Structures are given as structure tokens and as C-alpha cells.
Amino acid sequence: MKDILSLVRPNILNLTPYSTARDEYKGPIGVFLDANENPYPSNCYNRYPDPAQRELKQLLSQIKGVAPERIFIGNGSDEAIDLCFRVFCEPQVDNAIAITPSYGMYRVAAAINDVEMREVPLNADYSLDTDAIMAAADAHSKLLFLCSPNNPSGNLFPRAQIVELLRRFPGIVVLDEAYIDFADGKGFLGELEKHPNLIILQTLSKAWGMAGLRLGLAFGTAEIMDIFSRVKYPYNISSAVQQLVRERLSDTDNVARQIAEIQSERARVSAALAASPVVEKVFPSDANFVLIRTSGDPRELYQHLISEGIIVRDRSRIRGCEGCLRITIGTPAENDKLISLI
């Protein structure tokens, strides 16, 4: 593996980042006449937030078992995905690789950044074809997006295959673990130190129940996370969100209970759907949703559910997902209603 910093765009490596008013002062509470704020307190929202999110990173560091300097906090995972392109990919020169079907945002972020996206199909059973991925890569392949458990198929990829790609891929492997809390396996946070070319994405939008607060996490080497911080908007996470997230992160018991219930509901819903004549197949899931292949017209089932007030995700027009709907696991009562209609 070559030096990771050699993968970074030269203009980003040479960047002089915006220095915020608070960057230079690390002392205790003082008299702040530096940032042109209104001096009259309104819940402390008259002050700019901590651009480095130090207290929040400290808390996340304890929860995740990862050093604070290896953590980047973004306005949703989407910010971290966009930063991967902005930091590593020279528009019109470099390329990125993603599996398909997978999360649609990788392709959108590539297009916005004018970077070629090479999509490598999964096998028919949604397993990874590591040789096909490596065959798509060349000297300009800077990013490989792997989503595990994968959205929309729901499956977790074998560790050995992910490790194989970390060893073989010449650029950064971005492992999106948005759904890892619903899987039985542990994910790759514990292996960050072994793989300098690994960036892990996680989010508070799914298992942690904070989709409305917009908080995405990236984990990687301290050098790369430092570069992300220099490129991001200085005040990307508001004071209100930093505060609310810190409060909600202390409620880990409740979250663990909810995850356990969603996992057992996933098993119940999967079994019930598998028994329905309109369902041809329920794909095994390590996430908080299941992908089903309908035996008849997927649009018809989709419309039927809509007419009963249930909205699911129609994935049937995506290559590799013909005939498929993606259904999120809800509360037991919501799941009962779904089962009664399918």
C-alpha cells in the first residue's frame, strides 16, 4: 500500500483552511469580542458552535472505542460521502467504484463532483464478486464503496472478502456501516488500525433514532480525518444538534432494547412474508429492513399497500432488484398491519 496521503488531491493537501475565530483560543470562558456575535445570551445560541465538536467526539469515542482524532462528524453520512470525492478525486481524471445494487447516494455524489463512477454488479444472490471489482480498478481508482449490511439487499458481506479488498484495492475503501447495529457481527471499527486505507461510515439516523438531527460519522486515520475537517464547512454541526445528540447518546439502554426488538420483529416479519403467496422470496437481512421479491407485479402490491396507507420502497426498476420491494421493520403494531395486507 502506497502512502495514503499520496491519494489526496494536491490542492486539498496544500489547502490553507479557514481559521475560525475560536480556533486560536483554547482557554476557559473569556470575554468573546472576536466573532461579531450578538453578546446577549439566548440559550447560548448567540455563540458559534465548537467547529471541532470536541465534547461530542469525546462521548462518541467512549461509545465506539475509537480515539477522538479518528472521528469525523458530518451533517449526515451524505456530507462524509461528498467529502470522500472532494478530498480524493480529481474531477474528470480519477474514478470511483461501487457495487450495484447499493445505496444511490454514492452515484449522485460522484456525478456532482464530476467523477466517473464504475458500478460492479453483485452476484445474483447479492454476494460480492471481488475479482470483478478488482478488474474494474485502475491507477485512477481512488475510492471503493462497500455497503455492509448492503442497502437494499440487507446482507452483510463476509469479513474475509472485505479484508481481501482492503489489501488489494489501490485506493481508499469506504465501508458504509449505516446498518451495522442491526447485524450480529461487530463491523470493522476494531480493525481501523490495521488498514490505513479504510474509512468507515456510520450514522445516527438508523439504529440510534436521530434521522431528523442529521449526524453522520466517518472513522479513519487521524491524518485523513484531519483533512476532512479542514475541507468541511467550519460550523457544519449546529450547537443545538451537538447538544441534543449528546443528551440522546446517554440513553444507550433504550436504544439497545429497540434494536433487539427490531431484530426479533425482522425474523417474525420475514417468516410471515415468506408464507404469503404474493411473495416469491424474502432475502435474508442483517439490517432493519427486508427485501422481498414478489411473485406477481411488484407495482400492484406497492399500490395495494399505498391504498391501505402503508408506504414501502419500490426497488423493482433497479438492475438486480427486478420484482423487489424494500420494507422497513416498524413497530410490532405496524408490522401486524403490513402482514395482514400481504
Ligand X SMILES: *Cc1c(COP(=O)(O)O)cnc(C)c1O
The residue ranges that bind ligand X (CB under 6 A) are 76-78, 103, 147, 151, 176, 178, 203, 205-206, 211, 216
CB of 33 to ligand X, least distance (A): 37
240: nearest Cα among 214, 206, 201, 209: 214
CB of 66 to ligand X, least distance (A): 17
- Degrees to nearest 5, angle at CA 132 with 130 and 133: 65
> Closer to ligand X at the Cβ: 176 or 314?
176
> Closer to ligand X at the Cβ: 130 or 205?
205
> Closer to ligand X at the Cβ: 151 or 335?
151
> Closer to ligand X at the Cβ: 211 or 260?
211
Question: 279 in helix, strand or coil?
Answer: strand
Name every residue whose Cβ is closer than 8 Å to that of residue 60 and which is 6 or more positions away in sequence: 66, 68, 71, 73, 217, 249
Query: How far is 283 from 301, CA to CA, in rounded Å?
Result: 17
> Closer to ligand X at the Cβ: 8 or 133?
133
> Closer to ligand X at the Cβ: 49 or 216?
216
CB of 205 to ligand X, least distance (A): 3
CB of 14 to ligand X, least distance (A): 29
> Closer to ligand X at the Cβ: 74 or 298?
74
CB of 80 to ligand X, least distance (A): 8
Query: How many CA atoms lie less than 13 Å away from 69 in the CB half-sphere?
Result: 6
CB of 242 to ligand X, least distance (A): 16
Name every residue whose Cβ is closer than 8 Å to that of residue 324 and which is 6 or more positions away in sequence: 152, 291, 292, 293, 294, 298, 315, 316, 318
Pair 173, 199: CB distance under 8 Å: yes
By beta-carbon distance, which residue lies closest to ligand X?
Answer: 76
Give Cα separations from 229 to 77, 89, 211, 314, 331 (angstroms): 14, 17, 22, 36, 38
CB of 152 to ligand X, least distance (A): 8
CB of 241 to ligand X, least distance (A): 12
Q: Compute the Cα dihedral for 213, 216, 222, 228 and give only its sign.
A: negative
CB of 278 to ligand X, least distance (A): 26
Q: Is 214 left (phi over 0), alpha (psi -120 to 50) or beta?
A: left
> Closer to ligand X at the Cβ: 99 or 166?
99
209: nearest Cα among 175, 259, 243, 246: 259
Question: 160 in helix, strand or coil?
Answer: helix
Cell of 138: 485502475
> Closer to ligand X at the Cβ: 8 or 172?
172
Helix axes 105-112, 77-88, angle to 10 degrees: 40
